[in-house]
Amino acid sequence: MSSSLTAAETIARAAREAYEASQLLDPQERDLALFKIRDLLLERKQEILEANQKDLDAAQPLVASGKLSSSLFSRLSLQSPSKFDTLLTGITDVAALPCPTDQVTYARELDEDLELYRVTCPIGVLLVIFEARPEVVVNIAALALKSGNAAILKPGRESAHTTSILSSLIQQALSSTPFPSTFIQTVSTRDEISALLSQDRYIDLVMPRGGAALVRSIKDQTKIPVMGHADGLCHLYLDESAVKEKAERIVVDSKLNYPAACNSLETLLVHSSLLSTLWPSLSLHLLANNITLICDPPTLSSIPSNSSPHLLLASTPETYHTEHLSPTLSVMVVGSLSEAIKHINSHSSHHTDTIVTEDEKNVSVFTKGVDSAGVFVNASTRFSDGFRYGFGTEVGISTGKTHARGPVGLDGLCIYKYLVRSKAEGGHTAGEFQQEGGKKLVHKVIEATKAPF
C-alpha cells in the first residue's frame, strides 16, 4: 500500500470516527462550537489577512503571465473589510438557523403501539474540493458542523497560506469543545485527493466546486456519490414585452454585480421584436458600463454605429458554450419564447436562468419549461445564492438532480433514516400481518415534528 493511500485512509478513518462520536453530542454543542470558531477567527484577524496577502503577492505574477485568471484572483482576496465581516457573519447566521437534524418529515402509526418515523440526519463524512476562494473553508466548516457532518476540505493551491491558517484556527477552536479536532480536516495536494477518492468505506459524499472538467474528473475517479457544482453558464431572456428600465437594471446587475461569480450572467437572449426598440439603447447602456459584447449578426448590426468598437466582437458557435467570468456578455437573437427555452436547455449549465417580461402567460411557460436549478422572473441571476436564500451560507450550488439542487445549505447536507418502534409487550413481527385473517396495517397519520425517542 502506497504511503499516500495509507495517509488518506488515516485521514478518512479519523473523519469517520469523529463523525460517529459527534452523533451522541447534544446538537446545542454545534452552535457553541461555531461561536468558538468565530471568536478565534476575529481574534486572529490580522494574522489571517497577512497570510492572505502572501497568497495575493504570489498570485500577482501568475495573473500577469496569464497563468491565473483575474476572476480567480478577485476571489482570492479577503482584504476588503466587508468580505472578512461577511465571513464572520456567515458563521453567526448558520448558528442562528434551526437545527436541521432530528426533524420528523413523515410519521405513521402502523398498528397499535407500532410507530414509524422518518427523521432527518447528517449524511456522514463529506469530501469538498474547491478553488481559490479561501472563505469557503469557513463556510463549509460552519455548515458541516451545524448539520452534524464531518468534512475533509481540499482548497485551491492559490490560497494555500490563507486556508492553512483558517484550517489551523478551526481545529484549534474545536479542540476546546466536545468535538474531535479531526471533525474538520484540510488536505493540500492532488495526490491526497486521488487517494481519498478511493476511501468509499469512510467517505459518504464528494462535493467538487469548480468547472465541468473538474466535476467529470472526480466522477471518473471514485465510487463515492458526487454532488457536482459545475459551470455557471447563466442566461437572461428579454421577452418581447420587456420594459427598458427594468431590463437595464436587471441585465447590468446580473453581469456586473460580481462578474467572477458562478451566478453572473453569461448569455443574453433578445427577442427579435426588440432589435429596433429596446436592444439599441440597452446595448449602449452595457457598452457605457465597459461590458464587452460578443454578438450574433442581427444583434451586432442593430447596435448604433461608432459605439465603442473595441468592446464589440462577432460571435461563433462556441461563444454560447462559454462561461466568461468577466465583464463580457454573449448576445443572441431569438424569434420566440419557445426558441429561447430550447436554447437555454441545450446550452445552459442548468445553474440559473431568468426572464424579463410583463406577460404572465410567458412567466408560466418559462418557469415550467426551463430545466435549471434556479428559474427567475424579473430578477437578477445574482440572487441565486445560499446567503440570499436565507441558508446562512452554502457549500456550493448543485446543478445535478440528486437529493439537493441549487444552493446547498443545511437541508442539502442532511438525509434521513426511518425509525420504527414497537411499544407492545411482546414486540411486533411482520408475520402476524401476513396470516389469513391476521392484522392489517392502519397507516394512521401521527402529528409530530420530532421523534419521541
CATH of the domain spanning 234-396: 3.40.309.10
CATH code 1.50.10.10 for 3-100+124-230: no
Nearest-angstrom CA–CA distance, 73 and 58: 10
Burial class (CB in 10 A: 0-12, 13-18, 19+), 35: middle
Residues of the chain with CATH 3.40.605.10: 3-100+124-230
pLDDT at residue 383, as a whole number: 95
- Which runs of consecutive H residues, i.e. helices, occur in 352-401? 360-369, 386-389
Give the pLDDT confidence score for residue 292 in this predicted structure.
97
E-strand stretches of 159-214: 184-186, 205-208
* The predicted structure's pLDDT at residue 391: 83
Can you name the residues that pair with 329 across neighbouring β-strands? 293
- pLDDT tens, position by position, for the chain (453 residues)? 456 568 999 999 999 999 999 999 999 999 999 999 999 999 999 999 999 999 999 999 988 998 877 777 888 899 988 899 999 999 999 999 999 999 999 999 999 999 999 999 999 999 999 876 888 899 999 999 999 999 999 998 889 999 999 999 999 999 999 999 999 999 988 888 999 999 999 999 999 877 667 778 888 899 999 987 667 899 999 999 999 999 999 999 999 998 988 899 999 999 999 999 999 999 999 999 999 999 999 999 999 987 889 999 999 999 999 999 899 999 999 999 999 999 999 999 899 999 999 999 999 999 999 999 999 999 999 999 888 888 877 887 888 777 788 888 899 999 999 999 999 999 999 988 887 877 899 999 999 988 788
Cell numbers found for residue 65: 503571465
Cell for 405?
439542487
Quickly list DSSP for 142-153. Answer: HHHHHHT-EEEE
Cα–Cα distance for residue pair 183/149, rounded to 1 Å: 8
Parts of the chain belonging to CATH 3.40.309.10: 234-396
At residue 450, the pLDDT reads 84
What does the alpha-carbon distance between residue 232 and residue 323 come to, in Å, rounded to a whole number? Answer: 7
> CA-CA distance, 140 to 184, in Å (whole number)?
9
- Residue 242 confidence (pLDDT): 97
The pLDDT assigned to 276 comes to 95
